[in-house]
Amino acid sequence: MTRKIVVNADVGKGKINKNIYGHFAEHLGRCIYEGFWVGEDSDIPNTKGIRNDVVEALKNINIPILRWPGGCFADEYHWKDGVGPREDRKRMVNTHWGGVIENNHFGTHEFYQLCELLETEPYINGNVGSGTVQEMSEWVEYMTFDGESPMANWRREHGKEEPWALKYFGVGNENWGCGGNMRPQYYADLYRRFQTYVRDYGDNKIFRIAGGANVDDYNWTEVLMREAAPFMDGLSLHYYVHPGGFWNKGPATGFTEDVWDITMEKTVHIEELIEKHSTIMDKYDPEKRIAMIIDEWGAWYDVEPGTNPGFLYQQNTIRDALVAGVSLNIFNEHNDRVQMANIAQTINVIQSMILTDKEKMILTPTYHVFEMYKVHQDAERLDLSVESGSIKVGDKEIPQVSASASKAKDGAVTITLCNLHKAEASDLSVDLRGLAFENVSGRIITAEEMDAHNTFEQPDNVKPVEFDQFQVTDNELTLTLPSKSVLSLTIK
Ligand code: AHR
């Protein structure tokens, strides 16, 4: 049976904030150290200690924003330990992530250097859990104050004359858990207090992000919005897909067909979370001034056998390409409230873009989806309806096809489509209304095996290829979307 998708190319639904295509990098496992940072003396080609191959690959997906230094690490990070001559920096234990020594060689200056190389906006997460108001306030002063002050002078002593720009600042992370095990009333008060001293110096206007709920903790959102809405610009939400649950997540490869289905069902679940948290936000903020910031999301599995359990290193398969494609489509479709999302985490940790092994580097299927979707960044979302058919997963039904469409400034329309089925193709007709076009092109990422992935020996096993298996009649495209696939169509 042919399913129908209607795209109303003349009905705009607002801009898709490019920050929905954001990323997250924590001091965890081999994300910062080995992933980004190898040090200036490394044999691996680098610019001021940052890997050139990684920067080049990430620039190709236009990373709009990068969140750092955590995660749980943020609430035990003391920024002053990470500035000044590297050989003098304090060493500490990274208690959350493997109990390894953190030598603080990658600190504020190195993070800004990375953002400059990537041409990306920094998003810094401050420490509420084990830090002080003074420490947070001084960090902002150190980074952004232009005049004469103890922190600005200290920055200059460390070689940075002019202040940096800083827009996005998170006031704590997961303060219901690793960030202090707080109750929402208590955190709401702490948030109000800490954010007061996150100052706007000169022209630098900070967008303050409050630590939001875990998954479906709607009471957290209710309390934060009721008690602190006027003091925040964004409220975060964290959601990870663990097919077997948090304590028994299941492997990244070698999983069963049932687990594929469960992964897809847990992926689409984020739509319900967005809608329910948004409903609460609407009650206190009907104008939608406060952004929903999904600053941690992704598929989180058991670590690869033989690797440090605290390092969260996992493989990345065509299943992850679907998790990424479907989630990004959902975020696009909720662009009225979702203004940022940061996949966890960029390199070597959880659902990464890149895996490294010493000097070697591979791109994951998730990376390729971000590359295929980058045209949605800051494009106008288009009205669309999908009659997709469904897949039964236990007692639930999920859509077989996920889609999103946008129009770029140059008028090109992009439709991204995912077939969530592990085995069945989907016949589709795409009705393009309100659009005159001459040319259609496509790129698809798909695979035969459910756990097809790239390895250091076979780095191009899963990657996008050209797709021209469609017919065009008047304003209608007909095509067969293979099982386990993400397709991007460009219509000009
Ligand atoms: O991304 C890994 C961890 O998951 C983060 O540090 C934390 O915020 C979340 O629980």
Kindly give the number of the ligand 1 atom that is closest to the alpha carbon of 97.
6
Q: Whole-angstrom Cα distance, residue 211 to residue 232? A: 10
Active site residues: 174, 296
DSSP 80: G
pLDDT in the model for residue 253: 98
Burial class (CB in 10 A: 0-12, 13-18, 19+), 257: exposed
Q: Note if the pTM is more than 0.90.
A: yes
CA-proximal residue: ligand 1, atom 5 (nearest): 71
CA-proximal residue: ligand 1, atom 7 (nearest): 71
pLDDT in the model for residue 388: 80
Residue-wise pLDDT for 444-480, tens only, equals 999 999 999 999 999 999 999 999 999 999 899 999 9
CA nearest to 140, candidates 164, 175, 113, 172:
164
Mean pLDDT of 313-330: 98
- What are the contacts of 156-161 at 24+ separation with CB within 8 A? 158/83, 158/84, 158/109, 159/109, 160/109
Kindly give the number of the ligand 1 atom that is closest to the alpha carbon of 26.
6
Determine what percent of the chain is predicted with pLDDT higher than 70. 100
What is the DSSP track for 174-242?
Answer: -TTTTTT---HHHHHHHHHHHHHTS---TT---EEEEEEEETT-HHHHHHHHHHHGGG-SEEEEEEEE-
Cβ–Cβ under 8 Å, residues 297 and 240: yes
Residues framing ligand 1 (Cβ under 6 A): 26, 70-72, 173-174, 296, 344-345, 350
CA of 71 to the centre of ligand 1 (A): 5
- The sign of the CA dihedral 151, 155, 156, 158 is positive
Mean pLDDT of 418-423: 98
CA of 427 to the centre of ligand 1 (A): 39
Question: Which of the four pLDDT bands, split at 50, 70 and 90, describes residue 180?
Answer: very high
Q: Whole-angstrom Cα distance, residue 39 to residue 472? A: 53
Residue-wise pLDDT for 333-385, tens only, equals 999 999 999 999 999 999 999 999 999 999 999 999 999 999 999 999 999 99
Residue-wise pLDDT for 5-27, tens only, equals 999 999 999 999 999 999 999 99
CA-proximal residue: ligand 1, atom 6 (nearest): 71
CA-proximal residue: ligand 1, atom 3 (nearest): 71
Question: Which of the four pLDDT bands, split at 50, 70 and 90, describes residue 2?
Answer: confident
Mean pLDDT over the full length of the chain:
97
Question: Strand 360-363 and strand 50-51: pairing?
Answer: unpaired
